[in-house]
Amino acid sequence: MEETEEEAAVFGMMGGFGAWWIVGLLVPLLIIAIVVVLVVTLTRRGPSGGANPVPPRSSARAILDERYARGEIDHEDYVKRRDELDRSGS
């Protein structure tokens, strides 16, 4: 069965789909892109749902430990202040 010129012009070379094959290619790619964006957005927010809660206040002992770790105070000063904090109940 031979095509007429009119049928060939209507159906084109893509089996009757014409340029619609581009839509068939782009729709799945668009869906994949949306899923990737959602996953990245949700994983960056973390367990708090994106809210930035106020960080807990550092205790005096934690601050003392950090200062000792950074080398701001020597061992003797650290022990003296740690013992003082332990006595005061902080």
Q: How far apart are CA 84 and CA 82, in angstroms?
A: 5
Each residue of 46-73: pLDDT tens digit?
665 555 555 666 688 999 999 999 999 9
Instruction: Let me know: does 73 contact 63? Beta carbons within 8 Å.
Output: no
Question: Which alpha helices (H) appear in 12-50, and where do they start and end?
Answer: 20-45
Instruction: Let me know: does 90 contact 60? Beta carbons within 8 Å.
Output: yes
Each residue of 76-88: pLDDT tens digit?
999 999 999 888 8
Each residue of 4-53: pLDDT tens digit?
666 555 555 555 667 778 888 899 999 999 999 999 988 887 665 555 55
Nearest partner of 84 among 40, 76, 72, 74, judged by Cα: 76
Q: What is the pLDDT of residue 46?
A: 62
| pTM for this prediction | 0.37
